[in-house]
């Protein structure tokens, strides 16, 4: 006689075993139509799962985040089924869920085309309309290997052979198609209605460039047509805002195969980059940081001491010298900061010591993962390391959290989510240390009244961390800033300070980056603003345009005034129609266009326009200058004029 306890604490008793679907139907017909899975004693199960004892159960619908993942995973299976029906010689590999959809990797002897994609999607809709039941069956690894070998699915066989002996596997069956999967899945293909295939890409088997190249088909799936349409609209808008396109259009940067994953900054792009550094430098100066710089290349021994060599080796670039010393390009700045702290004798009176560094780091990202400014191999961090006494640790965390929220507000990000990433399985340091460090971060957030989410097991190998996630103008989330607390590296490097009693004790080390990567943050800003960067950050803030040659001297005089006021400006004296000039500089997203003709010259005025085409009138030059000085001033900077 099963007793089922629901999330609200209520209980239902049944005379016989029943399925999750039966229980949902008992509660109500609407819930029976919406349920896609159950969470039974903490474990996700299919709606066909039989309840034959006392359990705690919550019902998962397609409106729940977990339910949406189940829809997407089931849609990946639907994709694989359609591909196998249309192209029987294809081998299927894996098909996981992604942030906004799913993908499936296939081995095929020719490249898929956009026409193939349309045909595959049409077959998926036919299979969904057929409303085929999706059933789970369990088998041994030996049975599964025999089944997939007979089908010629050798990638599946390789996956199964890696599973420990004795485990029970599950296959999901829909029509004539069976796939290896833990599940759960929706009960019928008819539940999959709002989906769309989006693109084709290449991918190495198991993400290893030494393995075979596969073809990856991406798709998205949502709970209803309205949500799908909204997502596709966001996707279209994201395409318009793609920072890689804007980088070319606005002449900001480029990439080249001679240095994969590294940015070639053009003058305008480098201007933006330097404005970000200047802004952060001012904020850090005001917050009591000192700026330092450490070498880019350091001996292997340093990385062995820090633990990076054993925990991060595969992502490091290394080299050897004639005397057989092994060096590594730094993937992180922290060991260099420790070396700086270790110079000389430190006293408790020196703490907290806040050392900031715009440090260049190098990490070997797989070539398939590189993505414009958002995923690179060579980048600059607005890094800082704070050394403090344990009693100062929480205050320092509070100060950093307040600083990061203030900085994000200056860039127009009001919607910020904080995640606390706790100890990972592979880590250094004992549990007592991790308890202390995790408590410092959660205590700082609680003290400030900041809501946060827990990310279990996602901390760095040397300490827990806070992650700051920004939501942009079209609803996308970007993980940017991080704050990590660390007692492990001070221990490993044997650094200390002299306390009030004259004893040498360990400092706490805080690792902090607020932009994260300056390259990535630049890409995020370009997409957030669609290239219309805030006036203070724009590479060119104003352009003076002449109607004819007779205003060249006046235009150059205006340019001199603008530059004296530290306004980034240019002049366009070309013998072109004024409409053409206005359009060209508007496409370059220059915030202000100052048009001068004979009348403006005679009256010491400018005809002022914004980059959105707004007519701002014909102010006196002095009035225009006052407005530009105000609007081009970086946040927190005092007008020198």
> What is the DSSP code string of 43-89?
EEE-TT-EE-S-EEEEEEETTSHHHHHHHHHHHHHHHHHHHHHH-TT
Phi, psi of 318 (to 5 degrees): -125, 160
CA 136 to CA 120: how far, in whole Å?
A: 24
Q: Which CATH class is domain 542-631?
A: alpha beta
Q: How many CB atoms lie within 10 A of CB 361?
A: 17
CA 105 centroid distance within chain: 23
Q: Is the sign of the CA dihedral 315, 508, 480, 355 positive or negative?
A: negative
- Provide the pairing of β-strand 592-596 with 542-546: parallel
For residue 361, give the nearest of 454, 461, 294 by alpha carbon. Answer: 294
Q: What does the pLDDT look like over 522-545, one tens digit per residue?
A: 999 999 999 999 999 999 999 999
- Provide the pairing of β-strand 177-180 with 91-92: unpaired
Contacts of 387 (CB under 8 A, 6+ apart): 341, 346, 351, 352, 353, 355, 490, 497, 507, 508, 509, 510
Catalytic residue status for 511:
yes
Q: What does the pLDDT read at residue 638?
A: 60
The angle formed by the CA atoms of residues 157, 163 and 164, to the nearest 5 degrees, is 140
Q: What does the pLDDT look like over 562-591, one tens digit per residue?
A: 999 999 999 999 999 999 999 999 999 999
CA 521 centroid distance within chain: 10
Compute CA distances 1 → 15, 43, 51, whole Å: 5, 21, 10
Q: What are 193's two structure tokens?
A: 């209605």
Residues of the chain within CATH 3.30.930.10 domain(s) are: 253-528
Q: What is the dihedral of CA 511, 513, 517, 518, to 10 degrees?
A: -140
Do 185 and 73 form a contact (C-beta atoms < 8 A)? yes
Residues of the chain within CATH 3.40.50.800 domain(s) are: 542-631
- Provide the pairing of β-strand 3-5 with 508-517: unpaired
- Provide the pairing of β-strand 542-546 with 569-572: parallel
Run of H or E including 102: strand 102-107
Do 26 and 12 form a contact (C-beta atoms < 8 A)? yes
CA 489 to CA 507: how far, in whole Å?
A: 10
- Provide the pairing of β-strand 55-61 with 91-92: unpaired
Residues of the chain within CATH 3.10.20.30 domain(s) are: 3-61
Phi, psi of 48 (to 5 degrees): -85, -5
What are the residues facing 605 on neighbouring strands?
A: 620
Compute CA distances 250 → 277, 530, 586, whole Å: 20, 11, 11
Place of tokens 């607020």: 514
Do 329 and 298 form a contact (C-beta atoms < 8 A)? no
Catalytic residue status for 73:
no
Q: What does the pLDDT read at residue 312?
A: 80
- Catalytic hit among 381, 484, 540, 551: 381
- Catalytic hit among 196, 385, 601, 609: 385
Catalytic residue status for 385:
yes
Compute CA distances 138 → 141, 166, 172, 176, 178, whole Å: 10, 13, 9, 17, 12
Catalytic residue status for 383:
yes
The angle formed by the CA atoms of residues 335, 336 and 340, to the nearest 5 degrees, is 115
Largest pairwise CA distance in the chain: 97
Do 68 and 102 form a contact (C-beta atoms < 8 A)? no
Q: How many CA atoms lie within 13 A of 188 on its CB side?
A: 11
Residues of the chain within CATH 3.30.980.10 domain(s) are: 66-238
CA 640 to CA 629: how far, in whole Å?
A: 9
Q: How many CB atoms lie within 10 A of CB 59?
A: 22
Please give the CATH architecture assigned to the domain spanning 3-61: Roll (3.10)
For residue 52, give the nearest of 4, 17, 15 by alpha carbon. Answer: 17
CA 570 to CA 548: how far, in whole Å?
A: 16
Q: What are 244's two structure tokens?
A: 């890689």
- Catalytic hit among 185, 375, 511, 512: 511
Q: What are 610's two structure tokens?
A: 């914004």
Sheet holding 290-291, edge to edge: 290-291, 353-362, 378-388, 508-517, 477-486, 465-471, 416-421, 453-455
Compute CA distances 402 → 279, 417, 471, 586, 593, whole Å: 16, 14, 18, 37, 37
Contacts of 631 (CB under 8 A, 6+ apart): 535, 536, 591
What are the residues facing 193 on neighbouring strands?
A: none
CA 322 to CA 13: how far, in whole Å?
A: 77
For residue 551, give the nearest of 570, 582, 572, 580 by alpha carbon. Answer: 572
Q: What are 569's two structure tokens?
A: 């400006």
The domain made up of 253-528 is a member of CATH 3.40.228.10 = no
Run of H or E including 179: strand 177-180
- Catalytic hit among 181, 221, 334, 397: 334
**Overall fold of domain 66-238:** 3.30.980
Phi, psi of 409 (to 5 degrees): -65, -40
Q: What does the pLDDT read at residue 608?
A: 97
Global pTM value: 0.82
- Catalytic hit among 77, 191, 363, 423: 363
CB-count exposure of residue 420 (10 Å: 0-12, 13-18, 19+):
buried
- Provide the pairing of β-strand 213-222 with 569-572: unpaired
- Catalytic hit among 383, 480, 512, 585: 383
Q: What residues in the chain have per-residue pLDDT under 50?
A: 640-641
- Catalytic hit among 191, 375, 465, 581: 465
């Amino acid at each position: 006689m099963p007793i089922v306890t629901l999330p609200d604490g209520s209980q239902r008793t049944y005379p016989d075993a029943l399925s999750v679907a039966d229980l949902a139907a008992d509660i109500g017909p609407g819930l029976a139509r919406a349920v896609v899975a159950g969470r039974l004693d903490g474990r996700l199960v299919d709606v066909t799962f039989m309840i034959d004892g006392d359990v705690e159960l919550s019902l998962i619908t397609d409106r729940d985040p977990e339910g949406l993942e189940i829809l997407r995973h089931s849609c990946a299976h639907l994709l694989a089924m359609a591909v196998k029906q249309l192209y029987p010689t294809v081998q299927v590999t894996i098909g996981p869920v992604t942030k906004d959809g799913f993908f499936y990797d296939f081995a095929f002897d020719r490249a898929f085309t956009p026409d193939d994609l349309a045909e595959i999607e049409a077959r998926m809709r036919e299979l969904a309309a057929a409303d085929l039941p999706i059933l789970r069956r369990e088998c041994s690894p030996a049975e599964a290997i025999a089944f997939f070998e007979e089908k010629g699915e050798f990638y599946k066989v390789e996956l199964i052979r890696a599973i420990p002996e004795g485990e029970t596997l599950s296959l999901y069956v829909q029509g004539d198609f069976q796939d290896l999967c833990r599940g759960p899945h929706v009960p019928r293909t008819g539940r999959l209605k709002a989906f769309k295939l989006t693109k084709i890409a290449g991918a190495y088997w198991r993400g290893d460039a030494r393995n075979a190249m596969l073809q990856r088909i991406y798709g998205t799936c949502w709970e209803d047509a309205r949500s799908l349409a909204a997502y596709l609209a966001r996707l279209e808008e994201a395409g318009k805002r793609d920072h890689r396109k804007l980088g070319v259009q606005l002449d900001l940067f480029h990439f080249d195969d001679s240095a994969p994953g590294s940015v070639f900054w053009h003058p305008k792009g480098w201007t933006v980059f330097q404005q970000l550094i200047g802004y952060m430098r001012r904020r850090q100066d005001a917050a009591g940081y000192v700026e330092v710089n450490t070498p880019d290349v350091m001996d292997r021994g340093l990385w062995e001491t820090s633990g990076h060599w054993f925990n991060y080796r595969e992502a490091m670039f290394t080299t050897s010298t004639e005397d057989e010393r092994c060096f590594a390009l730094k993937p992180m700045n922290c060991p260099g900061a420790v070396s700086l702290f270790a110079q000389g004798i430190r006293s408790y009176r020196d703490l907290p010591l806040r050392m900031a560094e715009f440090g260049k780091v190098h990490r070997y990202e797989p070539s398939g993962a590189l993505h414009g400014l958002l995923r690179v191999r060579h980048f600059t961090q607005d890094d800082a390391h704070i050394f403090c006494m344990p009693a100062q640790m929480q205050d320092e965390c509070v100060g950093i959290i307040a600083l990061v929220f203030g900085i994000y507000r200056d860039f127009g990000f009001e919607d910020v989510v904080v995640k606390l990433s706790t100890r990972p399985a592979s880590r250094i340091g004992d549990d007592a240390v991790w308890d202390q460090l995790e408590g410092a971060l959660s205590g700082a957030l609680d003290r400030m009244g900041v809501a946060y989410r827990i990310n279990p097991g996602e901390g760095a190998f040397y300490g827990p961390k806070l992650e700051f996630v920004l939501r942009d103008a079209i609803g996308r989330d970007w993980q940017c800033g991080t704050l990590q607390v660390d007692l492990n590296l001070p221990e490993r490097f044997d650094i200390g300070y002299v306390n009030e009693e004259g004893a040498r004790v360990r400092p706490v080390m805080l690792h902090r980056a607020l932009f994260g990567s300056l390259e990535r943050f630049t890409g995020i800003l370009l997409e957030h603003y669609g290239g219309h960067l805030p006036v203070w950050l724009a590479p060119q803030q104003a352009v003076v345009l002449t109607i004819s040659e007779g205003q060249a001297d006046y235009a150059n005089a205006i340019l001199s005034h603008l530059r004296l006021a530290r306004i980034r400006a240019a002049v366009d004296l070309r013998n072109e129609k004024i409409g053409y000039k206005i359009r060209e500089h508007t496409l370059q997203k220059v915030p202000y266009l100052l048009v001068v003709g004979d009348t403006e010259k005679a009256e010491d005025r400018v005809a002022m326009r914004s980059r959105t085409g707004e007519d701002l009138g014909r102010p006196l030059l002095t009035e225009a200058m006052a407005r530009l000085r105000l609007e081009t001033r970086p946040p927190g900077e005092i007008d020198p004029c």
